[in-house]
């Protein structure tokens, strides 16, 4: 039986063939289905159109697929903050990572030893900070997912090799980050990001200061940077300045530790509440429970109050090391 297709149908079919996007294809298909003559001779065609429509709708709602390579760069945050190690090949990122975290990353005396990011936890006093070891950055090749990992991180550790021209390394790294629209800034600098750019607080580490000429290279770098970015000479091999580095990383994260206590009891100094700098008594309560924060009447505070145990309201700002007794 002939299909007897109408000009209207043929027009819609032409539109369907020209359509470039899924929504446009669906629109054209809808018209085709609406105007197609409905009789025995078009039964099979209509079934085909409906099945095509179902497939297109499914495609439209499918989530964008992330490649496996990209997924490897998706590291779940844990602990008080996530700090991303960055550097050119062979500068000692994995050596440092393996020394200060509970995790291990392969170390090699050849470049490109690390191929995928690896997370590990670093203890600093009574908290845990997450470090992420990464593959070396390259000028001509940025792995998919790498920019996002850096952009999502809470702070960056830029590792430079003092056995090499460290200023040059710094320039190359800055250039690569520029491609990703990432600007590195110091601890107290706040420059508002514009047009898709993000600012990341960064600590520069001059590694391998144990090498002959290492400290001379460090001084050169220090002089050139002139205090723009925090900078520390370290030796992973000689375990030099690693404790200072941990402290600097903590400061970079812009967080504070506050301790809660129940009335008449001593505070537990092993379990700090970790908050962003600038938080209030209300944020302390929120960290316990939303309802707790709603019911909060007042707090007593030891540390930043005028005297120990001072009564304060919910908007009272808390400081590093404060002890807070919440009352509901
Ligand atoms: N002298 C000296 N050598 C170091 C130090 N830290 C690391 N190295 C050496 O530097 C080489 C590279 O170390 P890795 O930790 O694999 O470097 P990486 O930056 O992770 O390298 P990629 O993963 O290839 O980017 C190894 O031979 C290390 O033993 C240090 O503090 N002093
Ligand atoms: Mg490595």
Question: DSSP for 181-195?
Answer: TEEEE-SS------T
d(CA 255, CA 80): 8
Task: Please tell me if the CB atom of residue 82 comes closer than 6 angstroms to any atom of ligand 1.
Answer: no
Of 85, 88, 94, 95, the residue with max ligand 1 atoms within 8 A of its CB, to mutate for a pocket test, comes to: 95
d(CA 134, CA 85): 6
Nearest Cα residue to 95 out of 161, 166, 151 = 161
- Mean pLDDT within 41-53: 94
List residues, by chain if needed, whose CB lies under 5 Å from ion ligand 2: 93-94, 113-114
Same-fold call for 69-252 versus 255-327: no
Nearest ligand, measured from the Cα of 163: 1
Listed in sequence order, the residues at least 6 apart from 137 whose beta carbon sits closer than 8 Å to its beta carbon are 86, 87, 88, 146, 172, 173, 176
d(CA 302, CA 304): 6
pLDDT confidence band for 195 (50 / 70 / 90):
confident
Name 260's bridge partners: 324
d(CA 238, CA 240): 5
pLDDT higher than 90, residue 68: no
- Mean pLDDT within 127-151: 95
What's the Cα-to-Cα distance from 250 to each of 13, 80, 98, 166, 215, rounded to whole Å?
A: 63, 9, 18, 24, 25
d(CA 218, CA 170): 12
Residue with tokens 């304060």: 312
Alpha helices for 36-92 (secondary structure H):
43-61, 68-71
Alpha helices for the chain (secondary structure H):
7-18, 22-35, 43-61, 68-71, 93-100, 146-152, 166-179, 214-225, 242-252, 281-288, 290-295
> Residues 81, 150: contact at Cβ < 8 Å?
no
Ligand 1 centroid to residue 238 C-alpha, Å:
12
Ligand 1 centroid to residue 96 C-alpha, Å:
8
* Tokens encoding 9: 């149908």
Of 86, 101, 107, the residue with max ligand 1 atoms within 8 A of its CB, to mutate for a pocket test, comes to: 107
User: Tell me, which fold does domain 69-252 have in CATH?
Assistant: Rossmann fold (3.40.50)
Ligand 2 centroid to residue 86 C-alpha, Å:
10
DSSP assignment of 259-296: EE--TTS---TTSPEEEETT-BHHHHHHHH-HHHHHH-
pLDDT for 265 equals: 92
- Mean pLDDT within 215-241: 96
pLDDT higher than 80, residue 230: yes
> Residues 207, 234: contact at Cβ < 8 Å?
yes
pLDDT for 127 equals: 97
Task: Please tell me if the CB atom of residue 79 comes closer than 6 angstroms to any atom of ligand 1.
Answer: no
The domains of the chain are located at 7-61, 69-252, 255-327
Ligand 1 centroid to residue 86 C-alpha, Å:
13
Average pLDDT, the chain: 93
Predicted model pTM: 0.81
Nearest Cα residue to 258 out of 275, 245, 233 = 275
Task: Please tell me if the CB atom of residue 214 comes closer than 6 angstroms to any atom of ligand 1.
Answer: no
d(CA 41, CA 244): 82
Task: Please tell me if the CB atom of residue 211 comes closer than 6 angstroms to any atom of ligand 1.
Answer: yes
pLDDT higher than 90, residue 105: yes
Ligand 1 centroid to residue 93 C-alpha, Å:
6
pLDDT confidence band for 194 (50 / 70 / 90):
confident
Note the pLDDT tens digit of each residue in 87-102. Answer: 999 999 999 999 999 9
* Tokens encoding 189: 């600098």
Name 158's bridge partners: 86, 204
> Residues 150, 200: contact at Cβ < 8 Å?
yes
| Phi and psi angles of residue 47, each rounded to the nearest 5 degrees, phi first | -60, -40
pLDDT higher than 70, residue 20: yes
Q: Report the CATH architecture of 255-327.
A: Roll (3.10)
pLDDT confidence band for 192 (50 / 70 / 90):
low
pLDDT higher than 90, residue 28: yes
pLDDT higher than 70, residue 158: yes
pLDDT higher than 90, residue 190: no
pLDDT confidence band for 1 (50 / 70 / 90):
low
């Amino acid at each position: 039986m002939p299909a007897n297709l109408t000009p209207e149908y043929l027009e819609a079919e032409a539109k369907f063939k020209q359509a470039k996007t899924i929504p446009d294809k669906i629109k054209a298909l809808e018209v085709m289905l609406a105007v197609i003559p409905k009789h025995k001779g078009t039964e099979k065609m209509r079934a085909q159109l409906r099945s095509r429509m179902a497939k297109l709708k499914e495609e439209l709602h499918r989530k964008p697929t992330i490649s496996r390579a990209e997924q490897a760069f998706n590291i779940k945050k844990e602990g008080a903050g996530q700090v991303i190690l960055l550097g050119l090949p062979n500068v000692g990122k994995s050596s440092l990572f393996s020394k200060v975290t509970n995790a291990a990353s392969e170390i090699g005396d050849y470049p490109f030893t690390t191929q995928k990011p690896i997370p590990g936890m670093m203890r600093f006093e009574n908290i845990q900070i997450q470090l992420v070891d990464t593959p070396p950055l390259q000028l001509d090749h940025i792995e998919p997912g790498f920019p996002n990992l850096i952009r999502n991180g809470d702070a960056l550790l830029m590792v430079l090799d003092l056995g090499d021209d460290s200023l040059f390394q710094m320039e190359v790294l800055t250039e690569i980050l520029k491609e990703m629209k990432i600007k590195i800034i110091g601890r107290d600098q706040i420059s508002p990001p514009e047009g898709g750019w993000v600012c990341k607080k960064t600590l520069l580490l001059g590694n391998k200061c144990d090498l002959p000429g290492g400290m001379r290279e460090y001084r050169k770098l220090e002089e050139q940077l002139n205090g723009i970015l925090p900078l520390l000479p370290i030796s992973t091999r000689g375990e030099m300045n690693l404790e200072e580095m941990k402290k600097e990383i903590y400061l970079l994260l812009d967080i504070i530790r506050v301790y809660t206590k129940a009335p008449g009891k001593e505070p537990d100094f092993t379990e700090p509440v970790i908050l962003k700098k600038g938080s209030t008594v209300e944020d302390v309560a929120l960290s316990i429970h939303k309802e707790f924060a709603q019911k909060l009447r007042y707090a007593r505070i030891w540390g930043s109050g005028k005297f120990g145990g001072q009564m304060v309201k919910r908007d009272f700002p808390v400081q590093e090391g404060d002890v807070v007794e919440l009352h509901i």
